[in-house]
């Protein structure tokens, strides 16, 4: 066997091992216990084994996805929320996963022993045949589309949810975001009306007499789907999952955009979003989707930092090539690094 053949064989074995579904998950240090302040009324979210038919409007519900690739980011995000919350014991996390739910549950339980959470299975068959390739492979993963199905996955007693991506940290009390008034809107998010909206759809979309007029009569502004406050009751009543799925089918047939799960949200909701202060999504810190170059914060106050884009802070820190703002993410990293030397 030639040296080239041996090298290719070793690379194949390495990739295969890394891709094994039962590969060991990252290990994390245990987070400290975060307790309610005196001004908080302690609430208890029923366990998965009890009756969930109880609605308490003072509870804050947050949804995030969990998988092996982004687990380190998810853990940092949870820690940041708890650390800055005035009433952390009143927060319930709703985690969505496709595989290895027992392992992921064990990781969350050992890392956050006092956390109120529930873990749901996302059936990838829901999006099988509806996902088309985009400019970045990570955007094509089925779990990236789970946010479309929150109203179906979560109990009907959860009437409002904050959805967070797994590459962000919160540096303010999340209750401020939770308590925004959505008015008649289904969804609230920071809007960016100065962005060139045509960038998110291709010429096939804009030249179509059917699709190209989709935004007529709307003041359609860009919003990032990594931070959303959603009224799940209105979502269910308006059958918004079906509306998003419609555009996914159109994309599969005619390819009218290149950016994963974002364009369907823009097609359905842009121009009908309750605007949230920009401080609640200082996004784009991961750079663009192709190179992931370093970026600065947008002008103005900051309540949430979001590393959307290709560059993720934990990867850049590990490779000793961090961007300046990655140092703001590092204090929330509970990852237990393996030591180079052992005494035993």
pLDDT above 80 for 186? yes
Q: pLDDT-derived band of residue 114, with 50, 70 and 90 as boundaries?
A: very high
pLDDT for the residue numbered 198:
83
35, two tokens: 């307790």
Tell which phi-psi region holds residue 282, choosing left (phi > 0), alpha (psi between -120 and 50) or beta. Answer: beta
Query: Does 46 score more than 60 pLDDT?
Result: no
Alpha-carbon radius of gyration of the chain: 21
Instruction: Please give the average per-residue pLDDT across 68-84, as a whole number.
Output: 97
* Residue appearing with tokens 């041996």: 6
What end-to-end distance do the CA atoms of the chain give, in Å?
A: 38
pLDDT given at position 15: 38
In the chain, the domains with their CATH numbers are 60-332 (3.90.550.10)
What is the average pLDDT across 183-189? 97
pLDDT (tens digit per residue) in 258-270? 878 899 999 999 9
Question: What is the tens place of the pLDDT at every residue in 214-237?
Answer: 999 999 999 999 999 999 999 999
C-alpha closest to that of 225 among 60, 81, 63, 80: 63
Write down the pLDDT at residue 12: 37
Band (pLDDT 50/70/90 cuts) for residue 197 is confident
pLDDT of 50 higher than 60: no
């Amino acid at each position: 066997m030639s040296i080239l053949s041996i090298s290719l064989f070793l690379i194949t074995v390495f990739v295969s091992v890394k891709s094994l579904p039962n590969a060991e998950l990252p290990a994390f240090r245990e987070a400290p216990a975060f307790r309610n302040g005196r001004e908080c009324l302690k609430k208890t979210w029923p366990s998965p084994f009890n009756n969930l038919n109880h609605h308490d409007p003072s509870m804050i519900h947050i949804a995030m996805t969990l998988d092996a690739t982004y687990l380190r980011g998810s853990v940092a995000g949870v820690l940041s929320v708890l650390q800055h919350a005035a009433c952390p014991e009143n927060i319930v996390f709703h985690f969505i996963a496709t595989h290895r739910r027992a392992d992921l549950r064990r990781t969350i339980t050992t890392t956050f022993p006092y956390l109120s959470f529930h873990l749901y299975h996302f059936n990838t068959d829901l999006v099988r045949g509806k996902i088309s390739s985009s400019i970045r492979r990570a955007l094509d993963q089925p779990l990236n589309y789970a946010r479309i199905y929150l109203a179906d996955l979560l109990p009907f007693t959860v009437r409002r949810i904050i959805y967070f991506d797994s590459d962000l940290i919160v540096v303010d009390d999340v209750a401020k975001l939770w308590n925004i008034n959505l008015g008649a809107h289904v969804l609230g998010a920071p809007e960016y009306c100065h962005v060139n909206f045509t960038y998110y759809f291709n010429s096939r979309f804009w030249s179509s007499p059917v699709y190209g007029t989709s935004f007529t009569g709307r003041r359609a502004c860009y919003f990032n789907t990594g931070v959303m406050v959603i009224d799940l009751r209105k979502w269910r009543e308006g059958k918004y999952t079906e509306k998003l799925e419609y555009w996914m089918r159109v994309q599969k047939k005619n390819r009218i955009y290149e950016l994963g799960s974002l364009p369907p949200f823009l097609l359905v909701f842009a121009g009908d979003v309750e605007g949230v202060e920009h401080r609640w999504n200082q996004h784009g810190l991961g750079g663009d989707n192709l190179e992931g170059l370093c970026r600065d914060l947008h002008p103005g106050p900051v309540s949430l930092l979001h590393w959307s884009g290709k560059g993720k802070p934990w990867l850049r820190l590990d490779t000793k090539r961090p961007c300046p703002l990655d140092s703001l993410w590092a204090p929330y990293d509970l990852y237990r690094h393996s030591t180079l030397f052992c005494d035993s």
